[in-house]
Amino acid sequence: MRIASYRVDGQRFVGLVSADQTKVTPLALSKEQAERGALAIIEIVAAGKMLPATDGPEMEVSAIKLEAPIPLPRRNIWCVGRNYHAHAKELQASVFKGNDANPESWPIVFTKVPECVVGPYDDVSLPGAAVSEQIDYEAELAVVIGRGGKNIQRADAMQHVFGYTAVNDVTARDVQMRHQQWDMGKSFDNFCPMGPWLVTADELDGTRTRVRCWVNGELRQDGPTENLIFDIPTLIETVSRGITLYPGDVIATGTPAGVGMGLQPPRFLKSGDVVRIEIDGLGAIENRFV
């Protein structure tokens, strides 16, 4: 199923999206539950309770305002760097200068603050030249945890996946390099467009899908998730080592080659640019940078 968070007349609802992705039907949630988006559904299911019934009229997706499926994650989003071979190679002379482009023994893991999440079609605010002049895009498949756990074994990891969504791991490259620790350059306001909805793991195999990104209609990124250096089970095993994962936690799995910094010469985002990210079997998000 596809679970969407959306607003109608200023009120947030959570609903099921039709198979043809053109209609949505609200689920029976309180206003307080609905404000948490799909996170409320994930926690209900994780507690062993039944999925709420649909409650209300079916609406055209074109008539609602889609929001991020998890508008405010319960804590920082886990993110993985340098997780496609070609992407690691293209950044070897910049962010990863002096590092070998071959996979390391462990994934590179950093986080983005939950407040940077915005909707699948929202504008993204550029911070201004005094803050950063090197804003970049990163198309990524994100895994959403459905069943929590600690020290999860790789062989069991996929049993902990609730579903998937798309994110743009927007990055201020100059800030990323300046501080070496990446969280600041990754966590500016609006720097995590997410959506268009959450697709459950029974409908999408995240280990076998395709991530693509266009900037102003030009295809920049195109990578199958089979090319991940560290696959999804390995990422879940790694992040949960000594750390309890909770239902609703989000893990962004890394971006394919073709980011702006990797081009020759680099091409960073400017006001008016439109970035579209599409994942096969999931859907697309599209954001204008202003």
Per-residue pLDDT reduced to its tens digit, 44-80:
999 999 999 999 899 999 999 999 999 999 999 999 9
Could you say which DSSP state residue 52 is in?
A: P
> At 100, is the pLDDT very low, low, confident or very high (cuts 50, 70, 90)?
very low
d(CA 158, CA 219): 31
pLDDT exceeds 50 at position 161: yes
- CB of 84 within 8 A of CB of 255? yes
Taking residues 158-186, report their average pLDDT.
94
Tens digit of pLDDT for each residue in 274-286? 999 999 999 999 9
Type of residue numbered 87: H
- CB of 122 within 8 A of CB of 287? yes
The pTM of this model reads 0.95
- Tell me if the domain spanning 77-288 has CATH number 3.90.850.10: yes
Share of the chain above pLDDT 90, in %: 89
Q: Using DSSP, state whether 8 is helix, strand or coil.
A: strand
d(CA 14, CA 41): 8
pLDDT exceeds 80 at position 89: no
pLDDT at 105: 83
Name the E strands within the chain: 2-8, 11-17, 23-26, 59-60, 65-67, 77-81, 108-112, 117-118, 135-136, 139-145, 161-168, 171-172, 192-200, 210-215, 218-224, 250-252, 274-279, 283-288
pLDDT at 104: 62
Residue extents of the structural domains in the chain: 2-67, 77-288
Type of residue numbered 214: W
pLDDT exceeds 90 at position 101: no
Among candidate residues 142, 150, 136, the one with its CA nearest the CA of residue 186: 136
d(CA 199, CA 156): 20
Q: Using DSSP, state whether 69 is helix, strand or coil.
A: coil
Pair of tokens at residue 216: 């102003």
Type of residue numbered 121: Y
Pair of tokens at residue 167: 């994110």
Taking residues 174-198, report their average pLDDT.
93
Taking residues 37-45, report their average pLDDT.
98
> At 179, is the pLDDT very low, low, confident or very high (cuts 50, 70, 90)?
confident
Sort strands 171-172 and 108-112 into parallel, antiparallel or unpaired.
unpaired
**Which residues are bridge partners to 22 per DSSP?**
none
Would you put residue 171 in left (φ > 0), alpha (ψ -120 to 50) or beta?
beta
Pair of tokens at residue 79: 């993110």
